[in-house]
Amino acid sequence: MSEAEFDLVIRNGRVVDGTRMPSFVGDVAVKDGMVVSRGKIAGKGREELDATGMIVAPGFVDIHTHYDAQVQWDPYCSQSCWHGITTVVMSLCGFGFAPCRPDDRERVMRRMTRVEAIPYQAMAQSMRWDWITQADYMDALNRMGLGINVSFYIPHSAVRAYVLGEDDRRKDVTPEELEQMKQLVRDGYRAGALGLSTDFSLIDRDADGGLLPSAAASMSEIEELLAIGREFNVGSVEVTPEDISLGEPEIKMLERFSELSGRPAIHTALFHSNHKPEAYKQALRHLEEANRRGHRVFALGGIVRIGSLFNLIEYNLFDDMPAWNRALACPLENRIENLRDPKIRAELQDDVDNYLVRVWSGRWDKLKVFESANKKYAGRWLDEIAQSEGKTPLNAFLDIALEENLETYFYIADLTSDDEYANAEVAAHPFVVPGVSDGGAHTQFLSMGKYPTVLLSDMVRDKKVMSLEEAHWRLSHMSASAIGLEGVGTLQPGMPADVVVYDMEKLGIATPEPVYEPVIGGGKRLIERAVGYRAIFVNGVMTFENDECTGKLPGRVLRTSAYDPEYNPSPLRLAAE
């Protein structure tokens, strides 16, 4: 038997290479973790996979996740890995775990418990904390072993916390403090990070319910940090505005941020909302106008209907409404007292009626009792319950919750992206990247990582919204290119062999609704697994076979061309030690 010429040959599949070129039936050869040849390949592979009747495509790139903590106990970053994603980007929205001083670790975990609903006990038991700077953190992950590729932004709130300590929500900073922040941003770029991420949204709150450090910062500080991007000319900047509807002020801000940094500006999330059903159309027009004016501005698009399962003991996705934030961001006994108060209830109703800069639609006909000890309520919608009891929906909602000390589980059916026609329009827009998985965050309440599987099975196979070639370009090469992540996203020779092989006819979600599974530390999370993936390869190594994990860890930290392996971290690292 002749010696194998390649490490792997995937044979006889329909190859969709991620460039939008027409697909073809043929082979893909891999050697040393890289794609080396495509077509009809005569040479043998040490490993061969028959992909007859299947799609062979580049692995997907998920550009908005918060796996910064979960990767410490789950090196595959599920759910993303189950849905063909081979690269994830972390430290979005201005928060992360690096840089971080040793004496600030507890506070950072408390912050992430509130802002992204990451279970505290899971972090307390699993975080290795063998890093201080962002470069340390990236190196630590490479040492730990990864089942997926990871890349990072430079988180603004973490930078502020490192310099200002517990005073990190102070608006004004001294010139010396600002210089220290700028040095940390430069350190992040030299570690290979993409660029600054920042967040002004009121739905994202600190452990005590107050503003995040990034939301408290002055615009002059933000602009000086963004301008450092011009020194490196890599990556992008990522922004979560206060109003994610992307109105005129927000698009002008993103244009300004792109101009200051010299790089693309990425808007965190654009999706259809039932309480502002036309807002997404305005947002799409604003993206077109910004790019027509010569700015590189992209939005991450919510393309999959998302519901939310929650109770009022831990839920933080009402924090973008001021009265709800005041009522709920407090110890449980105070929260119960607040929700009984008629005056506070009137303020909550006023927010629902008038405060539209929020995510939840406010539609009681789309909110139901999911799980309750009081069986007469289970499975019923709040508008119907309220009508039968002669109450307002808000009072019915709160009375049911208070009867069980807020342990009642409710389900919001239309948290985002409730209109399939709007989702299709968003998914096909030239300046929208599909995604918003928020992987690793809000896992008790949301399940959003399934978007690649839904895009391919629903929008491509069933509804014919776009071609197979277009969908794979968007899921891989467009996603990476929009944020300035170079060297991934296609199956062209010389690219990393991040590959998905799947059966289009069998592709789908394993369960009709999200289901709970336990997590380390005693918590639980909602999950939705995929079916139909024959194989997933990361850097030429199979990580999933027939939807089951192989246990191999071929992932790596992806860095930009600004990465300087010889660079010594700034003196601030020594000060922290």
Q: Residue 120 is inside which H or E element, if any?
A: helix 120-126
The per-residue pLDDT for 299 is: 98
- Tens digits of residue pLDDT in 33-57: 999 999 999 999 999 999 999 999 9
Which residues make beta-bridge pairs with 199? 240
State the average pLDDT over residues 189-202.
Answer: 95
Q: Is the pLDDT of residue 90 over 70?
A: yes
CA distances from 57 to 60, 334, 489, 548 (A): 9, 53, 9, 19
Compute the C-alpha angle 160/162/165, nearest 5°: 85
Interior angle at CA 228, CA 222 and CA 231, nearest 5: 165
270: which strand partners? 301
Degrees (nearest 5) of the Cα angle 501, 503, 509? 100
pLDDT averaged over the chain? Answer: 95
Largest CA distance in the chain: 83
What does the DSSP assignment read for 348-380? HHHHHHH--SSSS---GGGEEEEE-SSTTTTT-
Mean pLDDT within 345-350: 98
- The 10s digit of each residue's pLDDT in 248-276 is 999 999 999 999 999 999 999 999 999 99
Give the mean pLDDT of 146-156. Answer: 98
| 469-492 pLDDT, tens digit each | 999 999 999 999 999 999 999 999
d(Cα 73, Cα 82) in Å, to the nearest integer? 16
pLDDT at 370 over 80: yes
**Which of 370, 436, 537 is closest to 13 using CA atoms?**
537
Do residues 235 and 193 lie in contact, with contact meaning Cβ atoms separated by under 8 Å?
yes
Q: What is the pLDDT of residue 59?
A: 98
Measured CA to CA, the distance from residue 194 to residue 134 in angstroms comes to 12
pLDDT higher than threshold 80 for residue 88: yes
pLDDT digits over 279-335, tens only?
Answer: 999 999 999 999 999 999 999 999 999 899 999 998 778 988 999 999 998 999 999
Q: What is the pLDDT of residues 387-406, one digit of tens each?
A: 999 999 999 999 999 999 99
pLDDT digits (tens, 9 = 90+) for 491-517: 999 999 999 999 999 999 999 988 999
What angle (nearest 5°) sits at the alpha carbon of residue 522, between those of residues 519 and 527?
30
Task: Give the residue-averaged pLDDT of 66-79.
Answer: 97
pLDDT category of residue 1 using cuts at 50, 70 and 90:
very low
Mean pLDDT, rounded, for 72-76: 97
What are the tokens at 335? 């929260």
Q: C-alpha distances in angstroms, 572 versus 97, 134, 244?
A: 16, 12, 35
Residue 530's identity, in one-letter code, is A
Q: With 80 as the cut, is the pLDDT of residue 208 above it?
A: yes
Which tens digit of pLDDT belongs to each residue from 420-477? 999 999 999 999 999 889 999 988 888 999 999 999 999 999 999 999 999 999 999 9
pLDDT value at residue 408 = 96
HEC string of 495-536? CECCEEEECCCCCEECCCCCEEEECCCCCEEEECCEECEEEE
Say if residue 180 is preceded by a cis peptide, omega within 30 of 0. Answer: no
- Say if residue 574's pLDDT is above 60: no
